[in-house]
Structure 1
Amino acid sequence: MIDIKEYYDKEELIRLTQELVRIPSHKDVPNREKEVAEYIHRFCIENGLKSKLQPVDGERKNVLAYLEGIGNGKSLMFNGHTDTVPPYKMTIDPFAAEIKDGYIYGRGTVDMKGALACMLITMLAIKRSGIKLKGNIIFTGVIGEEEKSEGTEHIVKSKIKAHGAIVGEPSNYEYAIGHRGLEWLEIKIKGKAAHGGIPHLGVNAISKAAKLITKIEEELYPKLEKRYNEYMGPSVMNFGRIEGGSQPSTVADWCSIKIDRRYIPGETVESVIGEYQQIIDKLKAEDPEFDAEIVRMPNNMLTLDHLYLMTEPNELIVSCTREALKEVIGREPDITRRRGWTDAALLSSFGNIPTVVCGPGDISYSHTKDERVPINDLVNMVDVYSRIAMKFCGVVE
């Protein structure tokens, strides 16, 4: 196999990562990912890659770039998001892309503009090498992963097809073939207001919420502890936010509990919601004054459920990723078994594209006050991605 490092300059990779980081693309920027998408599009065109902008939401666009093979091999999708979380409370300049001690610092370095740069440089290096792939490489730089995954949902609905995909979330030389599904739920408890001096005339929604929380802990937690998947870990939940009432001297006539629920194969959106509903119904039967409803939070998703990812271990994209990592790091790579939700689940569940999560850097730096990515990881991931592409797409001898 060729040494891909001969066909690109390390400084080119560093510079591209820095330029992407220097373009703010979080939710509080006007037009959000517009500018960074246009930069990627220009970069591709200027370097001889076919590229187009795909409108998704107003000025917000996906970037689709192509390295075409001869047409008789498997097509590979590189998928990464162009948005980041906001840079507030960072202890470094979020958009300076400063280099220090072998790292590039800044918002989006590891999550995941560094991966975008690796994917693009991989495609350019293969093109420059003169290697003829049998199958195509499709780069999808998508909007909105940090919010509702509008970009990858649009990719799926636009019927873009591939035989396998890599999502470049940071994996620290590991790879993931499974992760839990994600559901955000709100339970709204209704009470009856009354003056604090005569609380017996009211129904305290906060008090009722406390009973509900206790009931969930007693009845649901033990069930979740027994549910486990080899490739994504246990089924879990978290009480993430509670609020209610208006002031200390008024009986609270409302309370809201917001829940993060991570579920695994054997569970569905319906079964997840149903378990909470059963507890609500039981409390209603025990207490005529208990009144609550459960709703799915609209800011968790657009229209497609955030299902779990489960790519079968015997899929070609899995073996190609494992082999490529092993060749680069010199040992058998580990499988990541407890990572957060990613767009890989949309590609797999709704696009029917077997998908693996693998990217440069350590997820522990994602969203942090001093986000960073090792330059060495970027270089190595170009090597990994190139090997995956050649193994998966096939090379004309």
Structure 2
Amino acid sequence: MIDIKKYFETGELVKLTQELVRIPSHKDVEHREKEVAEYIYNFCIENGLKAELQQVDGERKNVIAYLKGIGYGKNLMFNGHTDTVPPYNMTIDPFAAEIKDECIWGRGTVDMKGAIACMLITMLAIKRSGIILDGDIIFTGVIGEEEKSEGTEYIVKSGIKADGAIVGEPSNYEYAIGHRGLEWLEIKIKGRAAHGGVPHLGINAISKAAKLINKIEQELYPKLESRYNEFMGPSVMNFGAIEGGSQPSTVADWCSIKIDRRYIPGETVESVIGEYQEIIDKLKKEDPDFDAEIIRMPNNMLTLDHLYLMTDPSEQIVISTKEALKEVIGKEPEITRRRGWTDAALLSNYAKIPTVVCGPGDISYSHTKNEHVPIKDLINMVDVYSKIAFKFCGI
């Protein structure tokens, strides 16, 4: 098989990664992903790849690029999100893209502008090699994955077609064919205000919330611990935030609990919400003063549920990814489990595209104060992606 490393320079891969990182594209930036999408679009056009911009939300844009094949092979999608989380309190310059210790440092290096650079360089290197694949490669640079996944939802609803997809979230030379679904829920507990000197005249919503938390831990936690999927791990939940009341001298007339719930096959959005509602209903029967309602948090999704990913291990995209990784690392690759939610679930469930998660770098550095990606991981991932393309699309 062709040595793809002959058709790209390490310097151009590093430079592209750096340039993408140097363009802030988080939620606190005006127009967010607009500038980085336009940069990618111009890069593709300047290098002879057909590309287009999709207006998704105001000035926010997806960027789509194509490497056309002969027309009778399988079509492969590369999917990467152009947004990042904010820099928060990073211990390094988040947008300098400094090279140190053979790594590129900065916000988005590993999650996931490094992967986007690898995907684009893979397409260019294949083009330069003179090999025409049997099928097409379609690159989708999408907005909003860190929040509502507006970008991938847009391309899914547009009717985009592919026979297999790679989502480039960091996987550290492993690959994922499954991950849990994600649901964010807020439970609002209602009370009655009263002066702190006569608390018996009020209904303390914070105290009622404590009862609810205890009940969930007693009744739901054991059920979750018994649920497990070999490709995505256990069913889990987390109490992520709680707030309530107005001041110390007033009985709290409200309290809010925010929950992160990760669910697996055998569970649904309806069953997840139903289990919390069942506990609330029990508490209402036990305590006439208990009153609470469940709300699906709007910042978790746009219109499509964030279902779990489960790609059949026998799918050709899985086989191609596994073989490509093995050839590059020289051993059987491991399957990543217990990872976070990704856009792969939207592609798999709603576009019916078998999807695998595989990208450069270690996910443990995503969103961190010292986010970075090893340059060798970027180089090797171009090799992996090209081998996937050759095997999956055909040559």
The two structures share one fold, judged by TM-score above 0.5:
yes
Q: Which amino acid aligns with 2:188?
A: K
Alignment of 1:73-222 (within 5 A): 73-222=73-222
Alignment of 1:312-351 (within 5 A): 312-351=312-351
Partner in structure 2 of residue 265 of structure 1: 265
Alignment of 1:240-279 (within 5 A): 240-279=240-279
State the secondary structure of the residue aligned to 1:186.
Answer: strand
Q: Which amino acid aligns with 1:370?
A: N
Distance 1:297 1:99 in 2: 39
Distance 1:242 1:23 in 2: 34
State the secondary structure of the residue aligned to 1:128.
Answer: helix
State the secondary structure of the residue aligned to 2:359.
Answer: coil
State the secondary structure of the residue aligned to 2:19.
Answer: helix
Partner in structure 2 of residue 381 of structure 1: 381
Distance 2:197 2:314 in 1: 67
Distance 1:88 1:232 in 2: 29
Task: Report Cα offsets for 1:152-175 as digits up to 9, x if no partner.
Answer: 000100000000000000000000
Scaled by the length of structure 2, the TM-score of the pair is 1.00
- The structure 1 segments of at least 4 consecutive aligned residues displaced by more than 2 Å after TM superposition are none
Distance 2:118 2:209 in 1: 48
Q: Which amino acid aligns with 1:23?
A: I
Alignment of 1:61-76 (within 5 A): 61-76=61-76
Partner in structure 1 of residue 223 of structure 2: 223
Distance 1:341 1:303 in 2: 16
Matched residues, percent identical? 85
1:88, CA displacement in angstroms?
2.1
Task: Report Cα offsets for 1:228-284 as digits up to 9, x if no partner.
Answer: 000000000000001000111111000000000000000000000000000000000
CA RMSD of aligned residues (A): 0.4
Q: Which amino acid aligns with 2:265?
A: P
State the secondary structure of the residue aligned to 1:85.
Answer: coil
Distance 1:56 1:226 in 2: 41
Distance 1:101 1:282 in 2: 57
1:388, CA displacement in angstroms?
0.1
Partner in structure 1 of residue 54 of structure 2: 54
Distance 1:87 1:224 in 2: 34
Distance 1:113 1:231 in 2: 26
Q: Which amino acid aligns with 1:107?
A: R
Q: Which amino acid aligns with 1:305?
A: D
State the secondary structure of the residue aligned to 1:220.
Answer: helix
**Which ranges of structure 1 fall in alignment gaps of 5 or more residues?**
none
1:147, CA displacement in angstroms?
1.0
1:43 aligns with 2:40: no
Tell me how many residue pairs correspond in the alignment.
395
1:132, CA displacement in angstroms?
1.2
**Which ranges of structure 2 fall in alignment gaps of 5 or more residues?**
none
State the secondary structure of the residue aligned to 1:249.
Answer: coil
Distance 1:154 1:85 in 2: 20
Partner in structure 2 of residue 19 of structure 1: 19
Q: Which amino acid aligns with 1:307?
A: L
Distance 1:224 1:281 in 2: 19
